Homo-oligomer: A and B are copies of this chain.
């Protein structure tokens, strides 16, 4: 598993030690904006993460307290992944990536999200954070 090697005590550096790869924040994006919570749902994303990388990242995120893993309510053979407060607090980072990509790169945003962000960034962040908190209870 991707273990935490801290390169320095700088918060940018240490945050990147945890989140700074090509896949971790996409998993969190799927949880925040798509409401995904299972391995199979993460596999369906259009970016096509490899199975071993997904398993590795989910284990790392769990070990770092960013998400929790529990047996699913409907099936004993499934697991449900839910964001912790530490995970919910990554939402502003993801939103800033959305805004930068939308402004400077060739991307297509979900129009609902775009409208919410245009109406007010902080309100949109608050909405998705409250939403994630509700899901973390069930």
Chain A residues with CB under 8 Å of chain B are: 6-22, 25-26, 29, 46-48, 86, 89-90, 92-94, 96-109
Contact = CB atoms under 8 A, between A and B. Distances in A.
A18 B20 CA distance: 12
22 contacts: A7-B46, A7-B47, A7-B48, A8-B46, A8-B47, A10-B47, A10-B107, A10-B108, A10-B109, A11-B108, A12-B25, A12-B98, A13-B26, A13-B29, A13-B47, A15-B97, A16-B97, A19-B97, A20-B20, A89-B103, A92-B96, A92-B100
Copies of the protein in its oligomer: 2
A109 B15 CA distance: 12
A12 B97 contact: yes
